[in-house]
Amino acid sequence: MLTFHEKQELFNSLISQSEKSYADSFNSEIDIHASNSDYNFLSGLKNKEEIKTWLEKLKSRIVMREDEAELQDIIDDYILLG
């Protein structure tokens, strides 16, 4: 099991990787909102794969809903409710 600090480092490493797709263009916004929530969502994630999957799902949700809602609302909703 990873410590909270290790989870945070993993998340930051994943979010700071170079952009490879349109979804990756949202990384900086996601990072801002994650830090504003004190990375609390990481508590429910156990390992690197779960963190990576969580991040990919959030990006997918943003791409699918970006015309329907503001980016901040989509991110906040996912961070708070998963």
Helices 71-81 and 48-65 pack at an angle, to 10 degrees, of 140
As for how many domains the chain has, the answer is 1
| Angstrom distance (rounded) from CA 63 to CA 81 | 18
28-74 pLDDT per residue, tens: 999 999 999 899 999 999 999 999 999 999 999 989 887 777 878 88
pLDDT in tens, 14-26: 999 999 999 999 9
User: Which residue did the predictor score with more confidence, 82 or 49?
Assistant: 49
**Range(s) of the domain holding residue 41:** 4-81
Angle between helices 4-15 and 27-36 (to 10 degrees): 160
